[in-house]
Structure 1
Amino acid sequence: MRLMVLALDGVFDTGLTVFLDMFSTANELAAAQGIATPPFEIALVGVRPQIRTALGLTASVELADAVRKPDWVVVPALNTKQPERLVEALGRPDVLDAMAQLRRWQAGGIGVAAACIGTFLLAEAGLLAGLEATTTWSHAPLFRQRYPDVRLDDGRMIVPAGRIVTAGAAMGHLDLALWLMRQASPEMAAVVARFMLVDRRPSQAQYVIPNHLAHADPLVERFERWARANLAAGFSLQEAAKALAVGPRTLQRRTEAVIGKSPLAFFQDMRVERAQHLISIGQDLEAVTTEVGYADSATLRTLLRRRLGRGVRELRAEMQL
């Protein structure tokens, strides 16, 4: 498999090096198994001859249009954690040139992959219109607002859509590298994952911080504060809307538009987050159950297992490590 990693100024250092390290490790392990030809050919390319990473490191890169046609081009994230900085970055001349190059590659049949904020470049270039995609959960509200024609599923870690594949937040770069590796050799991908201690993470939903998402919109932020104050009482859309002085439909539409969830689903997220915290610090399960508004602990156990993939015992054990 031939891969190009498209690096731009301000690239997220970890995301960039994850790809290089994962495929370098695969080639080393292949050689150790007696495979003479490296299974992966990887090139670091850009639209300028040199890049400067977010941490200030400089690297020379090959010009994108001078490299032999790859099977896939990969776009790692820019290190822009604030929405306003991300929007500014999307208008940079080098980023605009990169998006034009991505359109040419995609039109030529080359697979296009991106992780975390790198997915914004694909969407901005128009490559994701009408397709399913994922992105970093922390910028999902901005993504929904900016690209309403993309079917965003920010709960998933990897979303393939034909010859385009997107991955979730920061360490989603690892998951994307393994996904690409599996297309050439599932066996090698499994070996590399074990060698580098990479777990399978089909969902990024368990890592979401609800109040971070809520800050993307004033009404949703007010709803988040109301919900936290009323976890024990349980959820009522009518009561929430009344407390916020809006209609139930307005609240429903706003939460779905901003965070992609109904008010009830967002309320459930906050219940899980609060229960996870209380259990991890050793609180009695029955007391936790009451505090987050459930009638019996069995229901809470089921919810935690379904949402987090871990039960009460595992949550408590994790905090003792």
Structure 2
Amino acid sequence: MALDETRMLVPTDAGVTAGSAMGHLDLALWLIRQASPELATLVSRYLLADLRSSQAAYIIPSHLAGADPLIARFERWSRGRLHQGFSLREAADALATSPRSLQRKCQAVLGKSPLRYFQDLRVERAQSLIRSGELGLDAIAEEVGYVDGATLRTLLRQRLGRGVRELRADLR
């Protein structure tokens, strides 16, 4: 079997493997989900974990962001402005740094551009709102700064490989 770095859980006929430090949570929720999707949803809420197939894409950048003062400030600034458009110049000005310095620091600490990290935060927030089931897709799109639900739907499919229906189905 070949290594697949994009997946946290790999079920095979011989068993299931889970990778990384938080893989045990993904594995436990996967095992519970096999018996009862409803129970897995309940357990994930108590654990404050969600049912995405890999938590690493969110846990690792969040941990890294907190480890660097500039990136931590950038994350706070970004989370407060997810509903607005992103401007590297505005972000840099708000953080009292240059756009180039912010760009280099994000790349060095997070391995991605400031825009990509901002978009990741939007996707993370959109997933949370979708799971809550309280808002329609257009309202969620507006909440995270997209013009309409179609734009958000396309982004979720590109980033997560899953659509809104599949994300909501995880809750059932």
Q: Which TM-score applies when normalising by structure 1? A: 0.38
Question: Partners in 2 of 1:287 and 1:271 — Cα distance?
Answer: 13
1:284 to 120, 126, 136: 136
Identity %: 59
What letter corresponds to residue 281 of structure 1 in structure 2? S
Question: Partners in 1 of 2:83 and 2:122 — Cα distance?
Answer: 9
Count of residue correspondences: 135
Question: Partners in 2 of 1:245 and 1:193 — Cα distance?
Answer: 51
Deviations 1:256-310 (A, max 9, x none): 0101100000001000000001001102111100011001211110110111111
Deviations 1:15-50 (A, max 9, x none): xxxxxxxxxxxxxxxxxxxxxxxxxxxxxxxxxxxx
Return closer, same or farther for 1:204/1:197 CA change in 2, 3 Å cut-off: closer
Runs of 4+ deviating beyond 2 Å: 194-199, 203-213
1:109-148 → structure 2 map (5 Å cutoff): none
Aligned to 2:39: none
- What is the RMSD of the two structures over their aligned residues, measured on CA atoms? 2.8
- Aligned 8 A contact 1:206 1:307 in 2: no
Choose between structure 1 and 2: higher strand proportion: 1
Choose between structure 1 and 2: higher helix proportion: 2
Question: Partners in 2 of 1:305 and 1:233 — Cα distance?
Answer: 21
Does 2:95 align with 1:248? no
Return the index of the structure with the highest Cα Rg: 1
Where 2:107 maps in the other structure, the secondary structure is helix
Aligned to 2:5: 157
5+ unaligned residues in a row in structure 1: which ranges? 1-114, 116-155, 159-167, 176-191
Question: Partners in 1 of 2:64 and 2:171 — Cα distance?
Answer: 25
What letter corresponds to residue 236 of structure 1 in structure 2? S
- Aligned 8 A contact 1:275 1:292 in 2: yes
Q: Greater relative contact order (Cα 8 A, min sep 6): structure 1 or 2?
A: 2
